[in-house]
């Protein structure tokens, strides 16, 4: 039997200093999950990503929370790539 709240950690590729943390809580018959990116050393929150509410099981809360974390990281990667591409497109205008 699992006691709640429970924490699950997810390693982030290409970042040795941060990791994902999903904290699952049971509220009556439902399960909620907090999704955060935390510092690996201190476990302090670097970025709060989302809260997943009213899932029928702890497993479902974990699955949805991992999907939210992945979506957030994908969007962050896309915006970072767009910023990098935009700066590469800017070229000096010599007359």
Q: Where are the domains of the chain?
A: 6-86
- pLDDT winner (highest mean) among 11-15, 71-75, 84-88: 71-75
Do 65 and 7 contact (CB within 8 A), yes or no? no
Are residues 57 and 89 in contact, defined by beta-carbon separation less than 8 angstroms?
Answer: no
Residues 3-61: tens digit of each pLDDT: 999 999 999 988 999 999 999 999 999 999 999 999 999 999 999 999 999 999 999 99
Residue 37's CB is within 10 A of a number of other CB atoms, namely 20
Confidence of residue 81 (pLDDT cuts 50, 70, 90): confident
């Amino acid at each position: 039997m699992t006691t709640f709240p429970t924490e699950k950690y997810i390693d982030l590729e290409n970042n040795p200093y941060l990791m994902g943390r999903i904290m699952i809580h049971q509220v009556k018959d439902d399960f909620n999950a907090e999704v955060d990116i935390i510092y690996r050393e201190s476990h302090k929150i670097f970025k709060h990503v989302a809260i997943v509410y009213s899932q029928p099981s702890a497993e479902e809360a974990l699955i949805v929370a991992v999907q939210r974390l992945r979506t957030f990281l994908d969007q962050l990667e896309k915006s970072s790539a767009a910023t990098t591409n935009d700066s590469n497109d800017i070229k000096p205008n010599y007359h």
